[in-house]
Amino acid sequence: MCSYNKVNGKPTCADPDLLAGVIRGQWKLNGYIVSDCDSVDVLFKNQHYTKTPEEAAAKVILAGLDLNCGSFLGQHTEAAVKAGLLNESAIDKAVTNNFATLMRLGFFDGDPSKQPYGKLGPKDVCTQEHQELAREAARQGIVLLKNSPGSLPLSPTAIKTLAVIGPNANVTKTMIGNYEGIPCKYTTPLQGLTTSVATNYVPGCTNVACGTAQVDDAKKAAASADATVLVMGIDQSQERESFDRVSLLLPGQQPLLITEVAKAAKGPVILVIMSGGGFDISFAKNDDKITSILWVGYPGEAGGAAIADVIYGYYNPSGRLPMTWYPQSYVDKVPMTNMNMRPDPSNGYPGRTYRFYTGETIYTFGDGLSYSKITHELAKAPRLVSIPLEEEHVCRSSECKSVEAVEQSCKNLAFDIHVRVQNRGKFGGSHTVFLFSSPPSVHNSPQKHLLGFEKVSLTGKSETLVRFKVDVCKDLSVVDELGSRKVVLGQHLLHVGSLKHSLTVRI
């Protein structure tokens, strides 16, 4: 699917280098390319990429678009053909890509029910197995960001009373976000937590905007409970498609409510953030009274049960952040209209994503704790990798910082990294091993990038070996200033967690 945005000045749905060159060429797509809904309309009416709608219709089809989500091509393609902007063979090509997919699915002379999922129907939607899958998916997605000693997991036998506070503590629809299906049934956080411990529920705010917090009632509940769970965050009223947040702070008086409840609480205070994006919650991260922080995303219909599973220790959290959480000051430095990845010191632009941003973070891509202590040990890794080049290659006689990642030099050029992963704690569970690389500072290269990841299951006091295969030309290359992929020569730093390994690439 091609999207609404431009890449290097071209709308993605009108970019032949992207659709035909990368997607069909490099990625070898054997299917069809569809537009995001009304994105062709957007490139004409909003981005003003073409002067006429007929020209827009012609450009996207010639670029390699096969299917339009919306009515734009239905309205303007015939006129584009009559105007000589588009020939029928280009339309035939798009139709062929669409129909070939339908043929492979058995829609014309086959039996669709014999396809892998062909027999699924309404009877399968709310089976117990699928409801359990929703719960397991939510459990796996929960990220433990902070956990002071003696906080989580809570013992349901030791905790007699639990204060449950916050505007998202008893929500249903909030948990499924948007683009959602019809849930089989909801389990709210309050319902999930109440299954094991007696709870005292105080909303604290009438909604997530939290214009005025009911601080006193919340403080009383926390002061009399053995532990407190604050379920905060936002919902679709604050962030959704076509509705962006302008702040990275929790809305309204949520920070006040959290801080005051933490001061008054008798026992551990667990902060649960429900949201799609990150927040500057440095106040909570640095508050010793807030003993644990969980980010649960929008966890789906079984989200409340999954949250309780993690809080009570029935499930060892293993989720990792899919994005970096920035401080509020980041908003002032990064215009929405500037999507450049690399930082620009001349104007204070800090860059975007974990790959290029070097400033202060609240939490970083890949962060996530466990109830167990997990350690990594390098079992196998080379110190030196040599790239074979022809004798007459220019880099044989001159100093090169990088070499072209071409097929003849790259064929079968790979090596193995073996990492021994040890669970030194008593809790069993899953653990995701991330392998990052930091290349030499050439061609405005990223400070680090992800080469691969593997998720492993470990019982308490056990270990396993994780194997990564590193493709030198794919994984140790960067894109230069002209858009060509180059393998960078020199010292690369590979890291897994706190483990670091130096690797030299030479010719």
- The alpha carbon of residue 488 and the mean position of all alpha carbons in its chain are separated, in whole angstroms, by 27
Rounded (10°) CA dihedral 271, 272, 273, 278: 70
36 is catalytic: yes
- The label of the residue with tokens 């299951």 reads 457
- The label of the residue with tokens 């039996």 reads 111
Q: Tell me the sheet residues that pair with 102.
A: none
Residue length of the chain? 507
Which tokens hold the place of 92? 């035939």
Q: In what order do the strands lie in the sheet with 161-165?
A: 143-147, 292-295, 269-274, 227-233, 161-165, 198-202
Which tokens hold the place of 493? 């730093």
Separation between Cα atoms, residue 33 and residue 98, nearest integer Å? 9
Separation between Cα atoms, residue 193 and residue 99, nearest integer Å? 50
| Catalytic, out of 17, 36, 217, 480 | 36
End-to-end CA distance of the chain: 39
Residue 465: phi, psi to the nearest 5?
Answer: -110, 125
CB 364 within 8 A of CB 354: yes
Separation between Cα atoms, residue 162 and residue 260, nearest integer Å? 17
CB 207 within 8 A of CB 252: no
Strand stretches in 24-180, DSSP E:
143-147, 161-165
Rg of the chain taking only CA atoms, in angstroms: 27
Which tokens hold the place of 247? 């702040």
- The label of the residue with tokens 């593997």 reads 454
Q: Up-side HSE of residue 472: CA atoms within 13 Å toward CB?
A: 29
Separation between Cα atoms, residue 314 and residue 154, nearest integer Å? 10
Of the candidates 256, 201, 260, the one whose C-alpha atom is nearest the C-alpha of residue 231 is 201
Separation between Cα atoms, residue 145 and residue 151, nearest integer Å? 13
Three-class secondary structure of residue 281 per DSSP? coil
Asked whether the CA dihedral 468, 472, 474, 479 is positive or negative, the reply is positive
Residue 383 class from Cβ within 10 Å (0-12 exposed, 13-18 middle, 19+ buried)?
exposed
CB 453 within 8 A of CB 395: no
Contacts of 502 (CB under 8 A, 6+ apart): 383, 491, 492, 493, 494
Contacts of 286 (CB under 8 A, 6+ apart): none
Which residues are marked as active site?
36
